[in-house]
Chain A
Amino acid sequence: MKNRKLTIAISGLNNVDSPGPGIPVIRGIRESELFDARIIGLAYENLEPGPYMHEFVDKTYKVPYPSEGVEPVLERIEYIHERESVDVIIPNFDSEIYAFIRLEQKLHGMGIGTFLPTLKQFEERHKSNLPRFGKTHAVNVPESFAVTSFEEIEELKQDEKIDFPLMVKGKFYDAFKAQNPEQASIYFNRVSARWGLPVVVQKFIKGTEVNVVALGDGNGQTIGAVPMRKQYITDKGKAWGGITLDDPTMIEFTHRLISSTKWRGGMELELIRTPENELYMIEINPRLPAWVYLAVAAGQNLPEAMVLLATGGSVQPYDKYEIGKMFIRYSFDMICNLREFEKLSTLGEL
């Protein structure tokens, strides 16, 4: 069956306590019976575990941070492509998706496939644009405001546009619940120092957080969708354990959203189910999440489907998954060779 060979470059190899999706995406790809993959890791740091996990990653190249601009990223990709002849790139960090969307045409020109959201899709689902997004696509979203100073939060409170408790969120990552102005000030400073401005202030919606991992084909069709509830959450708000749900309303919500947005690529929907059983969308992450391997184990190999779509293939949509499938994350001390660390640190390759 595995007569097709593909070279796939993947980032997000920081398989740490707040893991990137790289390794789980690779696990899905490794399990494909449709193609044989050579995995090229794209690493930002010398101590990301992925480069040393040789059962998953065949070769690793360090790449520049997208914040350095798209040109250095492109130059590095060209260098890697000359040596590896890359077929597909799967960027897995929110912070690099924008750069890869901008590079998409150039990458396609080089013969490298991607399957990313369009710039419009990427921009309109920004946390600060949520109210407009909700109106356009007829989904419940909490009131959200982009602020550039703590004083603006106080003004929003004075104008009765928002009240405590509220959520303080970074534009890419991090979210904190602030019970009062003092906490809001602390979280505003913490989030802005880490992720820059603006910071997003969001109305707190009381309820249970539930999530969906999904893949849209870019024409309004949902290729797959699996709902999950986090059973154990770390102090960083990440799932340490989760379970697939039998919730047709979440699936219907996802299908409707993908149909309306014509979403292209992977996504993670973060939803709150209120005690009144209403679903509020609090975020769309424009990539597959770190728990995507749960979907693979439940019967939907979304990373495999993404690779097929990125190489121009057609994919039959999934219509079922195993309910009550669980994951439990664990940490593991890998013993590594100093020579490998030296190689990645000095040559930028391993």
Chain B
Amino acid sequence: MKIKKNLAISETGFVFDPTTGDSYTLNSTGLEIIQLLKEGKTKEDIIRQMTETYDVDIHTFERYFFDFAGMLKQMQLVAPDEES
């Protein structure tokens, strides 16, 4: 999954979508994931990195990750060719 190229993400977790004018606030975990997505990391990369760093098992993290990814799609923060 790739997020929109023009998305502005600040270190404080503030995300601005300049196409729609919408802005969002992420917690530190959400910020870390969206930064990894922006770096072009795959779902598998992200799951590996997060489960190695934090005390969470793969299945639990996967569930939260899919929820989060669904939210990003719903908010149209995903690159158009990645939405389907």
Which A residues contact B (CB, under 8 angstroms)? 208, 228-229, 231, 242-247, 323-324
Contacts and interface: CB of A to CB of B under 8 A. Distances in A.
B83 to A, nearest CB: 11
Interface residues of B, number: 7
Contacts of A246: 6, 18-19
Interface string B7-50: 01000000010111100000000000000000000000000000
Of listed A228, A242, A245, residue having the most chain B CB within 10 A: A245
A247 B8 contact: no
Nearest to A247: B19
A155 B51 CA distance: 64
Contacts of B20: 208, 229, 245
Contacts of A208: 20
A246 B6 CA distance: 9
B52 to A, nearest CB: 35
A229 B21 CA distance: 6
Nearest to A273: B20
A229 B19 CA distance: 10
Nearest to B18: A246
Nearest to A228: B21
Contacts of A323: 18
B15 to A, nearest CB: 12
21 contacts: A208-B20, A228-B21, A229-B20, A229-B21, A231-B21, A242-B21, A243-B21, A244-B21, A245-B18, A245-B19, A245-B20, A245-B21, A246-B6, A246-B18, A246-B19, A247-B18, A247-B19, A323-B18, A324-B8, A324-B16, A324-B18
A229 B8 CA distance: 17
A175 B38 CA distance: 41
Contacts of A229: 20-21
Contacts of A242: 21
Given A245-B21, A246-B18, 10 more contacts: A231-B21, A242-B21, A244-B21, A245-B18, A245-B20, A246-B6, A246-B19, A247-B19, A324-B8, A324-B18
A246 B8 CA distance: 11
A324 B20 CA distance: 10
A244 B20 CA distance: 9
A323 B20 CA distance: 11
Of listed A208, A231, A324, residue having the most chain B CB within 10 A: A324
A231 to B, nearest CB: 6
A157 to B, nearest CB: 33
B68 to A, nearest CB: 22
